[in-house]
């Protein structure tokens, strides 16, 4: 305001814009996929479920993207060390997840048998799973994958026969 009274001009602060970095990352498709987190060779990997047109569900295993490993912005994180004999899931609000992401040595965004939603991306001719949302535990959210376990199918068939 002072600048306007003295000179007749009003000055506004200029925001610095981050330069665009060209990357060779592209999405396999705009469709979101679901995956189950698994451990292979002491590393977390995504078991991606893809539903085809005929109702057939195929799955394949790919690693998580670098962005998926970051704690910033993740609403659910897990402790790396057991607390009272169990690994704790920590639910955070959006503000805490953004401003207080946590330390990589204490927390991880991955947990075995949890379901994640995201995109399959291609970087350097390799496929990766890029997490956008943590959905929940496999036992409570397996309906999201579009698969029915074999045991459940057999039980349903037996009930229909009787």
| b/e per residue 117-149 (b: at least 16 CB within 10 A) | bbbbbeeeeeebbbbeebbeebeebbeebeeee
Looking at residue 14, its pLDDT comes to 74
* pLDDT tens sequence across 110-128: 999 999 999 999 988 899 9
Which of 10-24, 100-114, 128-142 is predicted with the least confidence, judged by mean pLDDT? 10-24
Confidence at 154, pLDDT banded by 50, 70, 90: very low
Going from N- to C-terminal start, the domains of the chain cover: 24-70+111-147, 72-108
Q: Does 6 score more than 70 pLDDT?
A: no
Confidence at 76, pLDDT banded by 50, 70, 90: very high
């Amino acid at each position: 305001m002072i600048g306007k009274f003295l000179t007749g001009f009003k000055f506004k602060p200029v925001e610095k814009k981050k330069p665009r970095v060209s990357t060779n990352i592209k999405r396999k498709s705009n469709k979101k996929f679901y995956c189950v987190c698994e451990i292979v060779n002491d590393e977390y990997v995504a078991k991606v479920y893809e539903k085809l047109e005929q109702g057939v569900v195929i799955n394949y295993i790919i690693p998580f993207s670098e962005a998926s490993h970051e704690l910033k912005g993740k609403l659910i994180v897990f402790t790396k060390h057991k607390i009272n004999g169990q690994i704790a899931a920590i639910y955070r609000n959006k503000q805490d997840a953004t401003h207080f992401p946590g330390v990589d040595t204490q927390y991880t965004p991955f947990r075995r048998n949890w379901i994640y939603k995201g995109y399959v991306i291609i970087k350097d001719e390799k496929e990766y799973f890029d997490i956008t949302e943590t959905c929940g535990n496999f036992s409570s959210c397996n309906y999201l994958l579009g698969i029915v376990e074999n045991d459940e199918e057999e039980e349903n068939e037996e009930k229909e026969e009787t």
